A = this chain, B = another copy of it.
Amino acid sequence: MGNRRQTIGIIGAGQLARMLIEAATPLDIEIALLAASPTDGAARIWPDVAIGSPDDAETVAAFARACDVVTFDHELVPEPVLSRLETDGIDLAPSADTMRIAQNKQRQREIFAAAGLPQPVHRISRSVEDAAAAAREIGYPVILKAAQGGYDGRGVWRIADAASLGEVAAELAGRDIAMIVEECVRLDHELAILIARDRRGGSAFYPLVETVQTEGICRQINLDRDIDHVLSTAAARIAIEIAEQVGLVGILAVELFDSGGRLLINEIATRPHNSGHYSIEAMATSQFEQHLRAIADLPLGTTERCADTAVTVNILGGSDGVDPRDRLATALAIPGVRVHLYGKEARPGRKLGHVTTLGDSIEECANRAWTAVEGLTNEPKPEGIR
């Protein structure tokens, strides 16, 4: 197992690649990076960077040939790239098939249904008429999702009535994108769980966390001391089953709805995930190190907690263009605030980084984290977040 030096290639150079590099450095694991631009967040902190379009099959294939294993910064990898890497016999982790599932919410829904996993009532539709019939059957309001291409709330709509449905559905149908029409579940909490799976089918899972969203964008993640053991066990079972169903090698995040104490799968990501950033400080093995261990055929690390509770708050660019790099002192003056900046230029609404606080209570951790984020961005905590 893994007692051989390997070069791990990362396609894409955003914040996930950046934090993978931060985890690789202490272990002296060799990383090769394919970045679209030298100013990408990960490219700015790493010497071994190839510049080229991660969407171009030739570019990616040439890059991958020099690597022992290739992984991804994001799941939006075009099919021609995936199939070219597969043809070339590149060791992809996660595999091309796993990536295809991660890219396609329709396939996810089908696989989860076949495995008997709990998810919202839904129908796959390809036409406006189909979608309208599905929505009538399920009952308004419904959630409409594009099967492919969405992230951070994009590609997901809450639809109140038939007129609104027609508009969105027509656009998607016109672009030949399949739709998922889903019940609008009563939402008590949004939750997430991480699982890592190695090349032998061994796995390690992380605690269930709460994610707090505004306008479809994750703003805060809570790792609570008090976990509902029933929910927690159910989530772990779901995560293990999904990891096997998608043939996972690496780390996977499952986003879940808690609807009246019933867990329903929202969606998955087969890579390190925003909901797991707390693990850098709060767990014995971060999601980034765990992903590297899994794909490099190294033993998975333990997933013990280093703190009773932890809160992560995302740093979104403020409306007045303040750059958090110029306000670091405000955040670092608050005790125990761990700041992670992603090396991006500040733009309103852009995810520029996150902060994590550890402590004894969610409320106290969240207070410190939000005070830091307000200082970094000059932007108040949004209403609707406790």
Cβ contact within 8 Å between B302 and A335: yes
Q: Which residues on B sit within 8 Å (CB–CB) of A328?
A: 2-3, 27, 29, 298
Cβ contact within 8 Å between A329 and B46: no
Q: Which residues on B sit within 8 Å (CB–CB) of A18?
A: 25
> What is the number of residues of chain A that contact chain B, defined by CB distance less than 8 Å?
48
Copies of this protein chain in the complex: 2
Q: Which residues on B sit within 8 Å (CB–CB) of A340?
A: 26
Q: Which residues on B sit within 8 Å (CB–CB) of A330?
A: 3
Q: Which residues on B sit within 8 Å (CB–CB) of A44?
A: 47
Q: Say if the beta carbon of A230 comes within 8 Å of chain B.
A: no
Write out, one digit per residue, whether chain A residues 330-347 have a CB within 8 A of any chain B CB (1) or not (0). Answer: 101101101111110000
A–B complex contacts, Cβ < 8 Å, 15 sampled? A1-B333, A3-B327, A3-B330, A21-B25, A22-B25, A27-B328, A27-B341, A28-B325, A28-B343, A47-B49, A284-B335, A297-B329, A301-B335, A301-B336, A306-B306
Q: Which residues on B sit within 8 Å (CB–CB) of A45?
A: 25, 46-47
Q: Which residues on B sit within 8 Å (CB–CB) of A333?
A: 1, 299
Q: Which residues on B sit within 8 Å (CB–CB) of A353?
A: 28
The smallest C-beta distance from A96 to any residue of chain B, in angstroms, reads 26
Q: Say if the beta carbon of A4 comes within 8 Å of chain B.
A: yes
A22: nearest chain-B partner, CB-CB: B25
Cβ contact within 8 Å between B329 and A298: yes
How distant is the Cα of A332 from the Cα of B27 in the complex, in angstroms? 10
- Not counting A1-B333, A3-B326, A306-B307, a sample of 4 additional A-B residue pairs whose C-beta atoms are within 8 angstroms of each other reads A3-B327, A22-B22, A297-B329, A304-B336
A window 243-302: CB within 8 A of B: 284, 293, 297-299, 301-302
A343: nearest chain-B partner, CB-CB: B28
Q: Say if the beta carbon of A5 comes within 8 Å of chain B.
A: yes
How distant is the Cα of A45 from the Cα of B24 in the complex, in angstroms? 10
Q: Which of A3, A284, A332 has the most CB of B within 10 A?
A: A332
